[in-house]
């Protein structure tokens, strides 16, 4: 399946059909990577392939067995970008559902760990490779979404502990922790149309998916003896925990 030449770096990117994953796929192809783009939406992947020439794979990352089989067939992988993720943010824990919990954890935590586990052995054998995982400011600072925040906190601790496990192997680990990014995130995170519109209208200039892709590329492009452990980035008008400050009213507001 892997048609890349020996000198061409190979990247696998999950959640590649839109937002950060799509932008990162485009950026890494432009940087000379052979990209394997994974997502569930075939039409979006077809458009990405037509625009970039990347290899596409219609795959739900929560299907662990299929994900593991894919890893067995793809061949050498130099970079894994664990980007697939979602949030359920329009209800409190007391009013949540079992699906809110399982869908969030299966996508944000289990799939990320399975993908990492699948590609690590070969990276360790070759003593080179890079695992990049998209966390969140919500995984480090308090935010009014217990389920989503807990899932991203798991990503945060996974990355820090994995970094220790891989000491001396030559494999690098980077966690990217964004705040608000202009993507489709709130289309999935918030089910109520009125609340969704409010959540999407942050009133601030948000980080773009292309800017996130630039950040990921920076972490990948530093010399091999340098590991970018974690990058936190968010809009200038947003601060920790999703808080923003309105200088006109001199009031803080919580806009995750």
Residues with catalytic annotation?
A: 148
Q: Where are the alpha helices (DSSP H) in 79-201?
A: 98-105, 111-126, 146-165, 185-189, 193-200
- Name the β-bridge partners of 176: 134, 231
Report the distance separating Cα 241 and Cα 234, nearest Å. 11
* Chain centre to alpha carbon of residue 96: 24
Count of residues for the chain? 256
Report the distance separating Cα 127 and Cα 120, nearest Å. 10
Nearest to 149 by CA among 219, 241, 72: 241
Report the distance separating Cα 98 and Cα 101, nearest Å. 5
* 8 Å CB contact between 94 and 27: no
Local structure of 146: helix, strand or coil: helix
**In the chain, what is the straight-line distance between the N-terminal and C-terminal CA atoms, in Å?**
40
Coarse DSSP helix, strand, coil percentages of the chain, rounded to the nearest 5 percent: 45, 20, 35
Report the distance separating Cα 240 and Cα 143, nearest Å. 9
Q: Could you tell me the two tokens for 170?
A: 């030559």
């Amino acid at each position: 399946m892997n048609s890349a030449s020996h000198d061409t770096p190979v990247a696998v990117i999950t959640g590649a059909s839109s937002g950060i994953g799509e932008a990162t796929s485009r950026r890494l192809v432009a940087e000379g990577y052979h990209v394997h783009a994974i997502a569930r939406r075939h039409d979006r992947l077809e458009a990405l392939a037509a625009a970039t020439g990347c290899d596409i794979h219609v795959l739900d990352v929560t299907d662990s067995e299929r994900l593991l089989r894919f890893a067995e067939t793809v061949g050498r992988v130099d970079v894994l970008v664990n980007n697939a993720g979602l949030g359920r943010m329009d209800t409190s824990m007391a009013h949540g559902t079992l699906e809110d919990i399982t869908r969030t954890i299966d996508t944000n935590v289990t799939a990320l760990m399975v993908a990492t586990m699948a590609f690590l052995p070969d990276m360790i054998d070759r003593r080179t490779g890079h695992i990049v995982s998209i966390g969140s400011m919500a995984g480090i600072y308090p935010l009014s979404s217990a389920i989503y925040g807990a899932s991203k906190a798991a990503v945060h601790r996974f990355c820090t502990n994995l970094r220790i496990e891989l000491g001396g192997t030559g494999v690098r680990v980077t966690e990217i922790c964004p705040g608000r990014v202009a993507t489709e995130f709130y289309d999935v995170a918030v089910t109520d149309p009125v609340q969704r519109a409010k959540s999407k209208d942050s009133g601030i200039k948000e980080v773009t998916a292309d800017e996130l892709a630039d950040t990921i590329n920076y972490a990948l492009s530093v010399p091999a003896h340098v590991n970018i452990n974690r990058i936190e980035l968010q809009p200038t008008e947003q601060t920790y925990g999703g808080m923003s400050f309105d200088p006109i009213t001199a009031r803080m507001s919580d806009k995750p």
